[in-house]
Amino acid sequence: MENHFNDKIRNLAIIAHVDHGKTTLVDALLKQSQVFRENQDVGVLIMDSNPLERERGITILAKNASITYQGVKINIIDTPGHADFSGEVERIMNMADGCLLLVDAVDGPMPQTTYVLKTAFSQDVTPMVVINKTDRPEARVAEVVELVQDLFLELATKPEQLDFPVLYASARDGYAVADPADEPQDMKPLFDAILKHVPAPAGDPDAPLQMLVAALDYDNYLGQVAIGRVSRGTIRLDDQVALMGGGDQPTTHKLDRVFVFRGLGRSEVTEAEAGDIVAVTGVDGVAIGDTIADLENAEALPTIHIDEPTVEMTFGVNTSPFMGKDGTHSTSRTLYDRLMNELRTNVSLRVEATDATDVFLVSGRGELHLSILVETMRREGFEFQVSKPEPVTKVVDGKVHEPYERLNITTKDEFIGALTEYLSGRLAQLIDMKYDDAGNVDLEYLIPTRGLIGFTSFFLRTTRGNGTHSSAFVEYRRMEGAIKSANAGVLVAWEAGVAVTYGLLNAQGRGDTFIEPGTPVYEGMIVGTHRREGDIPINVCKEKHLTNMRSSTADITRRLNATVRMSLDEALDFIASDELVEVTPQNFRLRKKVLSTSGRSRSRANAARDRAGAV
């Protein structure tokens, strides 16, 4: 059976660390294979089609496209490079026979390069290496090739995996060469190398049908769409098929539509053979990892392995006094249904019930994975409240273990002191440090995820944009040591009302403020940072007492300092474990879990007693 190969097809995943140029490379491949009309202005990062991807300039969801070169159809799967979305890479890898591993000619291999290459090897996907961004003046091509070779030596599980081709490209400028000395022209050398090195997909078109569902899509008109590679047999329109999911009895369905990928779109066909990637409708209730199989010979394929989530937070019904003002979906039922729906496509997400009926524990692969979900839901009109992201711990042999990550930082050497101080207080161990002559430094740490939460905003503040950092999960380790917390408290609104300039001026005597005059507040809402330890209640709605005296000049010149504006991600980073972010379609507000000032001092007193009793 395995000696059937479909030589008219290649299935190729594009994998790399974040920002190494995957989507830009796919742009170039699509453009140069005439997917578009002559002179059609299609823009850049065409595959990053969802609004959040465009806004943030990152890929979040893996996506399919296809091109034809010399009569061979190349199915391309673009994947996200950010570690938080690595579940996407695991999910799609079984559709591919080969992958292009892109490596930035300046950065070299980064944590996520290691991760995606490991994933490719574990699925027996044949890698080709593309050193990208060779146009950059700082490119250090020879060195980067050596680093890539070291990485292959470290990760390969079979000798033939060390026999990989290397190409040199500028995805942005639209060329690739097989030898650095070659004259750059176009992507032809890369197309040729793909046909030569990526194995044709195996699978007997006459055998009983088998297809693993690797992606789902929902279309208002077509309904549920299941996407995957036909690994055996032929899939036909109107066929009766068996759907085999986790443990349940197979169900029978009739295939309403069969599509293959063409360019950026799909085209309807009556049948598709083993080796091709298809999208089908008619299989209601399908989930990722299910097998669509021949009715008479229903055999399930191994389901998709996805690494476990490492970070969790609660999603609860909004309980603030402003509840229901902004959002169209605000009940426990709609929140639960929405989260359940997300599980169908967001493979590395988990949702669990908690002791409270209107609060759910949601876990994912990192802070960004969860904050993207929060952002997506608020844009859909949801209103809810979320807690601080915390690492997912687990108990091994009676001991608590926590996730550890490898953290890579590139910045200017003037920031080393501040970074080192912060990170050592957060249990990071320095693994490697490299300087260059231009005052740049590369730092590599091993750090518990616990210590990394909140790091992004610290890093941006401290380096003022002079640098990049990224991290990727390594393993679970024994939980040891405590994190030095910053201990600065917050300013908390004392009563409900509308903030006024005078009240905010008073607040600014204690710290920075988050809100403008005219902002409605409620008791327990966080309105700023306290410069010192501990929270203080503050009345930001308080007007100046009117007197007969004219204002002194000092008063006139006292102006409000600029309001500190946080993004949603920064707000999630900022809050403490006794605080929440209230998210609505128009706003997000920071609040204490316990809103009443007296309630909070009571619970503090109780906590103090608890601690005293424990000793």
Closest distance of CB 19 from Mg ion, Å: 8
Per-residue burial over 388-416, b = 16 or more CB atoms within 10 Å of its CB, e = otherwise: bbbbbbeeeeeeebbbbbbbbbbbeeebe
75 makes contact, choosing from Mg ion, ligand GTP, none, with CB < 5 to 8 Å by partner type, with: none
Closest distance of CB 373 from ligand GTP, Å: 17
> Phi, psi at residue 270, to the nearest 5°?
-95, -20
For 419, counting Cβ atoms within 10 Å of its Cβ (0-12 exposed, 13-18 middle, 19+ buried), the class is buried
171 makes contact, choosing from Mg ion, ligand GTP, none, with CB < 5 to 8 Å by partner type, with: ligand GTP
Candidate list 11, 15, 20, 301; residue touching ligand GTP; CB under 6 A: 20
Closest distance of CB 45 from ligand GTP, Å: 5
Measured at the CA of 11, the angle between CA 141 and CA 252, to 5 degrees, comes to 150
308 makes contact, choosing from Mg ion, ligand GTP, none, with CB < 5 to 8 Å by partner type, with: none
For residues 549 and 347, is the Cβ–Cβ distance under 8 A?
Answer: no
What distance in Å separates the CA atoms of residue 492 and residue 598, rounded to the nearest whole number? 12
Which residues have C-beta within 8 Å of that of residue 76, sequence separation ≥ 6?
A: 12, 14, 26, 29, 64, 65, 66, 67
Q: Which of residues 429-458 bind ligand GTP (CB under 6 A)?
A: none
What distance in Å separates the CA atoms of residue 444 and residue 429, rounded to the nearest whole number? 9
3-state SS assignment for residue 529: strand
For residues 18 and 470, is the Cβ–Cβ distance under 8 A?
Answer: yes
What distance in Å separates the CA atoms of residue 428 and residue 409, rounded to the nearest whole number? 13
* Two structure tokens written together for 363: 């876990």
Closer residue to Mg ion in complex, CB, 22/591: 22
Q: Is 103 in the site for ligand GTP (CB under 6 A)?
A: no
Closer residue to ligand GTP in complex, CB, 26/255: 26
For residues 386 and 572, is the Cβ–Cβ distance under 8 A?
Answer: yes
Candidate list 9, 10, 22, 119; residue touching ligand GTP; CB under 6 A: 22
CA dihedral 459, 463, 464, 468 (to 10 degrees): -70
Measured at the CA of 431, the angle between CA 427 and CA 434, to 5 degrees, comes to 125
> Phi, psi at residue 416, to the nearest 5°?
-55, -45
For residues 463 and 401, is the Cβ–Cβ distance under 8 A?
Answer: no
Candidate list 6, 123, 170, 584; residue touching ligand GTP; CB under 6 A: 170
Between 34 and 73, how does the x/- string for binding to Mg ion read (CB under 5 A)?
-------------------------x--------------
Q: Is 23 in the site for Mg ion (CB under 5 A)?
A: yes
19 makes contact, choosing from Mg ion, ligand GTP, none, with CB < 5 to 8 Å by partner type, with: ligand GTP
Q: Is 597 in the site for Mg ion (CB under 5 A)?
A: no
Between 171 and 190, how does the x/- string for binding to ligand GTP read (CB under 6 A)?
xx------------------
Max CA pair span of the chain: 98
Query: How many residues would you count in the chain?
Result: 615
135 makes contact, choosing from Mg ion, ligand GTP, none, with CB < 5 to 8 Å by partner type, with: ligand GTP
Closer residue to ligand GTP in complex, CB, 174/228: 174
Closest distance of CB 179 from ligand GTP, Å: 18
Q: Is 79 in the site for Mg ion (CB under 5 A)?
A: no
Closest distance of CB 48 from ligand GTP, Å: 7
Nearest residue relative to ligand GTP (C-beta): 81
Closest distance of CB 441 from Mg ion, Å: 27
Closer residue to ligand GTP in complex, CB, 15/441: 15
What distance in Å separates the CA atoms of residue 462 and residue 440, rounded to the nearest whole number? 15
Closer residue to ligand GTP in complex, CB, 80/233: 80
Q: Is 23 in the site for ligand GTP (CB under 6 A)?
A: yes
309 makes contact, choosing from ligand GTP, Mg ion, none, with CB < 5 to 8 Å by partner type, with: none
Closest distance of CB 48 from Mg ion, Å: 6
Closer residue to ligand GTP in complex, CB, 107/294: 107
Q: Is 6 in the site for ligand GTP (CB under 6 A)?
A: no
Instruction: Count the neighbouring beta carbons within 10 Å of the beta carbon of residue 597.
Output: 18
- Residue in the structure block whose two tokens are 């509308």: 498
Q: Please work out the total of residues on this chain that contact ligand GTP, with binding judged by CB under 6 A.
A: 21
Closest distance of CB 172 from ligand GTP, Å: 3
Closest distance of CB 91 from ligand GTP, Å: 15
For residues 510 and 531, is the Cβ–Cβ distance under 8 A?
Answer: yes
Closest distance of CB 183 from ligand GTP, Å: 17
Which residues have C-beta within 8 Å of that of residue 373, sequence separation ≥ 6?
A: 342, 346, 349, 362, 364
What distance in Å separates the CA atoms of residue 465 and residue 462, rounded to the nearest whole number? 8
Candidate list 4, 8, 136, 140; residue touching ligand GTP; CB under 6 A: 136
Between 32 and 51, how does the x/- string for binding to ligand GTP read (CB under 6 A)?
-------------x------
For residues 559 and 504, is the Cβ–Cβ distance under 8 A?
Answer: no
Between 44 and 83, how does the x/- string for binding to ligand GTP read (CB under 6 A)?
-x------------xx--------------------xxx-
Q: Residues interacting with ligand GTP, by CB under 6 A? A: 16, 18-24, 45, 58-59, 80-82, 132-133, 135-136, 170-172
Q: Residues interacting with Mg ion, by CB under 5 A? A: 22-23, 59
